[in-house]
């Protein structure tokens, strides 16, 4: 992504160092810088940061943390007061599937005057390679390249209806886009509609019929959040990848829509005039949940090999501007916080992001409490059982977890998510948090909510199956409120990486390789295989690897691969025969006179497994030998590459073979003829090989294979024919008679 230095500097009060120094800071602590041209820095934003750093504000935020420069709050759209309470009369929005469209804001402005953008706006867009169109469209592009949130503007009068909708397209439905091309849509694509007519391909491209032009006076602004997968598939299917689709593919926070809409309205009103009529904000999944992730200084130092103090870690969090707290004892914290949740409603399969703190299941209650203290745990009770540290009941302390079979929930006998498949013979269906003094707090279906009970008198804990201690429950943890735009920060390791790159990767010590007290013992069979490989390679053989599964054999596998070839092979020969047939067809491309293959592999025969060597030569024998162990104190795998042999990459595009035969005078240097053909045929001629020669009446007939192939595209028959005509004409001028 290209970023404009003055644009970034405006966020940082003009205090950025020079362009080169700024680029170096980004390169060392955030993303690879692919180039600097004038005041434009070309940054390769990694996929995990596409949701917040495909815009100038995100890069400026990174520089703020790296260089410890405060963001200019007056220029930061995230400091806008968002208020969409003013309803747009006559405008409505209907979302058919809230999983595919998580939020849609429509802003209605009347009386705009469309025309050229002011110089500052045109200069900003032109600097990053964007062509200015008009003040309204340019304003939406400004927001996209500023915040990373794509926007779109429709001519309200051309819509035909202000009843907007978001739905999947009908089979065969068509729409003419802004590029003036007609696109046939399919039911896997999401469209924006007015009435029921498509006016835009969601997240990809707007429709031409409602395009903004100089006659436009009333506009509807769109700021929406679409599922990345549906946008990506539509862009791929239509071969229509845009700046908007690139950003939606990375997944964006629905919260970003609001700030983008507010900035777009502010800019348009200031440069195009008009009156704001109001908004329609459809946000089906709106939640007050703030994602929290915890980490301890001990964890950071353990992973990075550093000796950072709590103050060092806090400094990094402050540089990012994150809200955080330090919990000295997570176990004590959850025990003190737990009673406040008494009375919350029970809900089976409740989630902490969508339901807490109003409703809980037994495991979401314990999970929620510890997340507030900076420790994340699995979401199911059986997984929490497998995850926790086993303890005896007599050693139980406040903050520990107690598990039971309550006979009310679903008993699970193995881990579902944490260590999938790990057996729990006694089964688990319930969990509670031990408060001490024989008391437990838990969310129970039997009492329809969160209650505190004596364990001995609780019907839910008549059959206790185990006690578990939460890892690091006594270790101080930092708990960070993750900003809505940082979708990449979800686990402890994410926070450790943020600390690492701010501190500087160069400060992380290297780990020396362990030194062996004595040389490793020689594996006789491995030594034999290596020796055989070295010998055969020097003789021009190529090693292959074939499947160990066969149609018939002595050993049948239990887990059949696709139901085909259900046995283990008894010989390497069938695989060698099959591979030989495939490779013979391409030897002309490779410039080989014969194909020679070998394989070292296991076979299952005679009641056991053994390693054998198989060799195959085109037109010759296909043999199998039992490798014999090689004894010795060291491996002898040295071999010399034949002189003149060099690595040459393969092209992924198909090749075309042409033959050319000619009469040449006796005594003609036939190798020189091949070199002439190579020169005349040019770079597309990959190999020239002589395949025929005979003499008659004092003349010599020679024939050559010419293999044409491009490394950039598929060659056409016409192109190759033209080259061959050129070759033939040149050879005729040399006095050769083309046959």
Whether 30 maps to a domain, the answer reads yes
Q: Average pLDDT of 464-476?
A: 95
Residues 57 and 136 both lie in one domain:
no
d(CA 184, CA 25): 46
Per-residue pLDDT, 582: 86
For residue 516, the model assigns a pLDDT of: 67
Compute the distance between CA of residue 60 and CA of residue 320 in angstroms, rounded to an integer.
11
Tell me the mean pLDDT in the region 548-554.
90
User: What is the three-class DSSP state of 600?
Assistant: strand
> What would the mean pLDDT of 84-113 be, rounded to a whole number?
97
Spatial CA neighbour of 432 closest among 468, 477, 407: 468
Res. 99: pLDDT tops 70: yes
Asked which of 260, 282, 304 is the last residue of a domain, the reply is 282
Q: How does strand 32-37 pair with strand 40-44? A: antiparallel
Q: Which residues of 109-147 are buried (b: 16+ CB within 10 A; e: fewer)?
A: beebebeebeeebbebbebbebebbbbbbbbbbbbbbbb
Identify the domain boundary among 443, 475, 507. 475
Residue 168 falls in which region: left (phi positive, over 0), alpha (psi -120 to 50) or beta? beta
Is 468 a domain residue?
Answer: yes
Residues 666, 566: one domain? no
Residue 187 has pLDDT above 90, yes or no: yes
3-state secondary structure of 274: coil
Residue 622 lies in a domain: yes
The pLDDT assigned to 631 comes to 72
Are 102 and 66 found together in one domain? Answer: no
pLDDT value at residue 589: 63
For residue 290, is it within any domain? Answer: no
Phi first, then psi, for residue 430 (nearest 5°) are: -155, 150
Q: What is the CATH number of the domain that holds 602?
A: 3.30.930.10
The answer on 147 and 51 residing in a single domain is: no
Q: Quick one: 586 and 449 in the same domain?
A: no
Same structural domain for residues 192 and 265? yes
Whole-number pLDDT of residue 561: 61
Domain count of the fold of the chain: 5
Task: Specify whether 575 is located in the same domain as 607.
Answer: yes
Residue 516 lies in a domain: no
Nearest-angstrom CA–CA distance, 178 and 187: 21
Same domain, 141 and 261: yes
668, 727: one domain: yes
Per-residue model confidence (pLDDT) at position 191: 98
Cα–Cα distance, 18 to 24 (Å, whole number): 10
In tens, the pLDDT along 221-270 reads 999 999 999 999 999 999 999 999 999 999 999 999 999 999 999 999 99
The label of the residue with tokens 């690897």 reads: 545
264 and 124, same structural domain? yes
- Domain of 468, CATH number, reads 3.90.1720.10
pLDDT at residue 739 in the model: 86
- Residues ≥6 apart with Cβ < 8 Å to 377: 366, 367, 370, 371, 384, 387, 388, 470
| Residues sharing a CB contact under 8 Å with residue 530, sequence separation 6 or more, in sequence order | 635, 637
Question: What local confidence, expressed as pLDDT, does residue 517 receive?
Answer: 72
- Mean pLDDT (the chain) is 92
How far is Cα 225 from Cα 228, in angstroms, rounded to an integer?
9
Secondary structure of residue 126 in the 3-state scheme: helix
- Which residue segment(s) compose the domain that 259 sits in? 92-282
CATH code at position 113:
3.50.40.10
In this structure, what are the phi and psi dihedrals at residue 9, rounded to the nearest 5 degrees?
A: -65, -30
Token pair, residue 250, equals 């990375």
Q: For 285-341, write each residue's pLDDT tens digit.
A: 888 889 999 999 999 999 999 999 999 999 999 999 999 999 999 999 999 999 999
Cα 117 to Cα 268: distance, rounded to the nearest angstrom: 10
Among the listed residues 56, 26, 51, 64, the one whose alpha carbon sits nearest the alpha carbon of residue 321: 64
Ramachandran class of 203: left when φ > 0, alpha when ψ lies in -120 to 50, beta otherwise: left
Does 214 map to a domain? yes
Examine residue 417 and state whether it is found in any structural domain, yes or no: yes
Domain CATH number, residue 698: 3.30.70.380
- What local confidence, expressed as pLDDT, does residue 594 receive? 82
Query: Following CA atoms 566, 572, 574, 579 in sequence, which dihedral angle do they give, to the nearest 10 degrees?
Result: 110
**pLDDT above 90 covers what percent of the chain?**
75
The answer on 128 and 41 residing in a single domain is no
Same domain, 68 and 98: no
pLDDT for residue 713 is more than 60? yes
Q: Please tell me the predicted confidence (pLDDT) of residue 608.
A: 87
Q: Which residue has the higher pLDDT, 81 or 366?
A: 366
Rounded to 5 degrees, φ, ψ at 330 are -55, -40
Note whether residue 352 is domain-resident. Answer: yes
Question: Which position has the higher pLDDT, 622 or 41?
Answer: 41
Give the other-Cβ count within 10 Å of 571's Cβ.
15
The enclosing H or E element of 574 equals helix 573-584
């Amino acid at each position: 992504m290209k970023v404009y230095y003055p644009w970034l500097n405006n966020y940082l009060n003009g205090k950025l160092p020079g362009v080169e120094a700024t680029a170096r800071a980004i390169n060392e602590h955030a993303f690879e810088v692919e180039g600097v041209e004038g005041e434009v820095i070309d940054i390769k934003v990694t996929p995990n940061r596409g949701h917040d750093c495909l815009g100038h504000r995100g890069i400026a935020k990174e520089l703020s943390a790296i260089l410890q420069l405060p963001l200019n709050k007056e220029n930061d759209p995230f400091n806008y007061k968002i208020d969409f309470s003013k309803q747009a009369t006559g405008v409505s929005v209907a979302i058919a599937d809230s999983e595919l469209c998580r939020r849609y804001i429509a802003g209605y402005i009347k009386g705009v005057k469309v025309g050229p953008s002011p110089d500052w706006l045109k200069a900003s867009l032109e600097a990053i390679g964007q062509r200015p169109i008009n003040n309204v469209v340019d304003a939406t592009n400004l927001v996209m390249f500023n915040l990373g949130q794509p926007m779109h503007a429709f001519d309200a009068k051309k819509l035909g209806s202000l009843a907007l909708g978001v739905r999947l397209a009908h089979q065969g439905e068509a729409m003419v886009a802004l590029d003036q091309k007609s696109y046939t849509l399919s039911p896997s694509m999401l469209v924006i509609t007015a009435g029921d007519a498509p006016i835009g391909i969601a997240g990809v491209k707007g429709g031409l019929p409602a395009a903004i032009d100089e006659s436009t006076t009333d506009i509807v602004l769109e700021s929406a959040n679409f599922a990345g997968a549906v946008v990506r598939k539509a862009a791929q299917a239509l071969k229509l990848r845009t700046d908007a689709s690139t950003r939606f593919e990375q997944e964006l926070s629905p919260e970003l829509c609001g700030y983008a809409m507010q900035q777009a309205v502010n800019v348009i009103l200031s440069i195009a005039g008009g009156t704001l009529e109001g908004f329609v904000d459809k946000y089906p999944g709106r939640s007050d949940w703030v994602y929290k992730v915890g980490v301890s200084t001990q964890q950071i130092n353990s992973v990075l090999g550093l000796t950072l103090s709590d103050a060092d870690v806090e400094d990094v969090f402050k540089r990012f501007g994150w809200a955080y707290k330090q919990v000295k004892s997570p176990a004590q914290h959850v025990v003190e916080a737990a009673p406040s949740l008494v009375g919350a409603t029970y809900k089976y399969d409740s989630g902490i992001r969508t339901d807490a703190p109003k409703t809980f299941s037994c495991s979401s209650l314990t999970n929620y409490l510890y997340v507030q203290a900076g420790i994340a745990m699995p979401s199911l009770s059986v997984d929490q059982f497998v995850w926790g540290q086993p303890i005896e009941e007599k050693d139980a302390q406040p903050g520990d977890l107690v598990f039971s079979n309550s006979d009310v929930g679903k008993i699970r006998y193995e881990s579902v998510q944490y260590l999938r498949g790990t057996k729990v013979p006694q089964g688990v269906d319930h969990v509670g948090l031990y408060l001490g003094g024989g008391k437990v707090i838990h969310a129970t279906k039997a009492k329809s909510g969160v209650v505190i009970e004596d364990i001995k008198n609780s019907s839910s804990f008549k059959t206790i199956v185990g006690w578990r201690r939460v890892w690091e429950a006594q270790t101080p943890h930092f708990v960070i409120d993750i900003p809505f735009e940082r979708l990449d920060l979800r686990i402890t390791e994410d926070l450790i990486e943020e600390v690492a790159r701010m501190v500087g990767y160069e400060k992380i010590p290297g780990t020396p390789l362990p030194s062996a007290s004595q040389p490793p013992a020689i594996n006789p069979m491995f030594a034999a295989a290596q020796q055989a490989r070295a010998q055969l390679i020097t003789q021009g053989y190529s090693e292959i690897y074939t499947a160990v599964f066969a149609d018939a054999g002595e050993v049948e596998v239990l887990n059949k691969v696709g139901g085909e070839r259900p046995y283990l092979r008894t010989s390497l020969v069938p695989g060698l025969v099959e591979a030989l047939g495939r490779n013979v067809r391409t030897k002309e491309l490779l410039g080989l006179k014969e194909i020679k293959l070998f394989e070292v592999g296991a076979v299952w025969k005679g009641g056991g497994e053994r390693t054998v060597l198989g060799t195959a030569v085109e037109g010759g024998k296909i043999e199998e030998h039992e490798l014999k162990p090689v004894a010795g104190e060291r491996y002898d795998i040295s071999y010399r590459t034949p002189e003149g042999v060099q690595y040459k990459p393969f092209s992924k595009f198909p090749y075309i073979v042409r033959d050319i035969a000619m009469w040449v005078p006796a005594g003609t240097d036939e190798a020189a003829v091949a070199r002439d053909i190579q020169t005349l045929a040019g770079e597309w001629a990959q190999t020239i090989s002589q395949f025929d020669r005979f003499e008659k009446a004092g003349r010599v007939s020679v024939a050559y294979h010419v293999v044409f192939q491009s490394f950039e595209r598929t060659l056409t028959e016409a192109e190759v024919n033209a080259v061959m005509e050129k070759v033939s004409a040149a050879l005729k001028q040399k006095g050769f008679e083309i046959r």
